[in-house]
Amino acid sequence: MSSRKPKLTAKSKDDATLARPESQPEPAWTRTALTSLALVSVLLFALRLGAAYVVGFGDSEALYATWALHPQAAYLDHPGLISLVARALGGGTVPAPWPTHVATSVFATLIPWLMFAAARVAGAGRGGAALAALVIAVVPETAVGLFALTPDLLLAPAWIGTLALVCLGMREPAHSNRSAAAFLAAGLLSGIACTAKVSGLLLLAALGATYVSLALTASSKLEEAPEWLRARASVRTLWPWAGMAAGALALAPVVFFEANSGWPMLQHRFIDTQAGAGIALRNIATLFGGQLLYLSPLFALFAVWTARDLYRRRHHDPISRFLFLSFAIPVVPLLGLCLWSPVAEPHWMAPSLLALPLHASRRLGAAAVTSRRGIVAALSLATALTLFTHAWVLIPSSARLLPATMDPKFNISNELYGWPAATQAIKEQLASLGTPFDPEGHEVIVVGPHWTVCAQLHAALPGVRVGCASPMKDDFDGWVARSQWRHASQVLFVTDNRFPTDGASELPELVRTAQSRVRLLRGGRTARIFEFFLYDRRAQGAL
């Protein structure tokens, strides 16, 4: 063996600093960053708990909650992990909104601290790790979005945890138990991410690309970089690949279910919902405008800067390479899908961006290359947007800020209110129709005009059969077929002011016998109007 000491060039010195920033003195603002993270966590947790006792399910949340009644490996929109969580929260049935939101409040508050831990594992100092966690804590996309019971609430910790575990595996000595356990757990967790949301497959692909890239790196280029040699030796062991196999095993039930069912999720996502797909100005505006709102304008700019810096440093050390691949491999297809699909939503980009605060935290730990004033301004603006969003949703008088002539259906916060009053009216209607053998009116099928209404109905009335008249096939078609409710004896058709229909065209064989309405006011203005139309087959026979 050669006893020659490695020669440190300017580049290798920079790499060593970047790879081991914890060896550098902590910057003076570390304590401030940690204190700010703790205070923000407490503030947002208090706001979330307050919201948990006020708001109901959003429309998508209500759909995911109803999946607790219909356990499957996959549904038309997502794999089935969220259904297991909903079922656990509801004790085997649909969970109620307030305990669900208490649980999601805890999860949403802990996720920034998971980012803090991931940044530390990746090599960031405490100050840089705290700033990365603060970004996750205050940007509206996570600060507001993770309050809801959605697949993203499960995908975020699985994605961040996978990033942390791979970094840990590469930093530990090759063939050590800690390295083996980290790689094994990383692969398994990436597979679990796939069962939360299909975009988790892109994380699994990033792991494979990283392992192959490091395994094939020529040793002649690594003479002066022990961290590269360690990472290459680690990925040439069994454990990274065993971890990916474990991840594939976790995903297998979803794949088998889809294959045996004719790939309904792929059909729904890439064919049925893609009428008018193609690159369009509307898609571009939605994507980039959404990033400005979800990330806040300054953090959107920081994301671009950090992505450029990560690209330039992708060959500096193995963790930088991994973070680059875990950003680039997901971001390309997600960006293309958002530009092409008319139903794409800006938050689809979020998983690919999680590598950026990790990289920024390592750069801040090594050298303060970003303006402190810029960071403070970005954090302040994002916090203000998050607080404004909470105020908009929780303060009824906020509705008065909108023009009086504006249609209330365009205020999406209204979907969080009104369903308890509507549900009570429905229960009274069903009770009036019940026989002595059916006092709850279970023989009546409740039908909505769109999956958003149907989901709220099914979540609020888990013991009642709910059908759905959505323009295209949805999950409800597998639970109560259209042929069943169209030929039922009695149907209660429920709609709101977003869908101005009375259901007559969907029920030509039945006669409408009753109609009622419930109006919800917020801030002195109409927020929701629910209408109920009762149809009866026996009335047609009487005619």
- Report the DSSP pairing between strands 511-522 and 490-496: unpaired
CA–CA distance, 526 with 399 (Å, rounded to integer): 9
Q: How many other C-beta atoms lie within 10 A of the C-beta of residue 318?
A: 27
Classified as helix, coil or strand, 64 is helix
pLDDT at 8 over 50: no
Rank 75-84, 338-347, 503-512 by mean pLDDT and report only the highest: 75-84
User: pTM of whole model > 0.85?
Assistant: yes
pLDDT for 351? 94
**382 Cβ contact partners less than 8 Å away, ≥ 6 residues apart:** 135, 138, 139, 140, 143, 295, 296, 298, 299
Distance of CA 417 to the CA centre of its chain: 22
CA–CA distance, 12 with 224 (Å, rounded to integer): 7
pLDDT at 10 over 60: no
User: Using 50, 70 and 90 to split pLDDT, how confident is the model at 540?
Assistant: low
pLDDT for 224? 56
Residue 481 in tokens: 């077929």
User: Using 50, 70 and 90 to split pLDDT, how confident is the model at 367?
Assistant: very low
pLDDT for 37? 96
**133-178, pLDDT tens digit by residue?**
999 999 999 999 999 999 999 999 999 999 999 999 999 998 899 9
CB distance 434 to 440 below 8 Å: yes
CA–CA distance, 286 with 315 (Å, rounded to integer): 34
| DSSP 8-state class, residue 271 | I
CA–CA distance, 199 with 162 (Å, rounded to integer): 14
Among 184-198, 273-287, 382-396, 409-423, the minimum mean pLDDT is found in 409-423
**418 Cβ contact partners less than 8 Å away, ≥ 6 residues apart:** 56, 496, 518, 520, 527, 528, 530
pLDDT at 538 over 80: no
Residue 23 in tokens: 């060896």
- 406 CB-contact burial (10 Å; exposed 0-12 / middle 13-18 / buried 19+): exposed
User: Using 50, 70 and 90 to split pLDDT, how confident is the model at 192?
Assistant: very high
457 vs 25: which has the higher pLDDT: 457
42-65 in b/e burial notation, b at 16+ Cβ within 10 A? eebeebbeebbeebbbbbbbbbbb
pLDDT for 304? 94
pLDDT at 275 over 60: yes
CB distance 205 to 212 below 8 Å: no
4-37 in b/e burial notation, b at 16+ Cβ within 10 A? eeeeeeeebebbbbbbbbeeeeebebbeebbebb
pLDDT at 183 over 90: yes
**401-424, pLDDT tens digit by residue?**
777 666 666 677 778 888 888 898
Alpha helices in 75-125 (DSSP H): 81-89, 97-122
pLDDT for 478? 92
pLDDT at 455 over 80: yes
pLDDT at 4 over 60: no
pLDDT for 219? 60
Percent of the chain with pLDDT over 70: 89
Classified as helix, coil or strand, 41 is helix
As a whole number, mean pLDDT of residues 513-529 equals 85
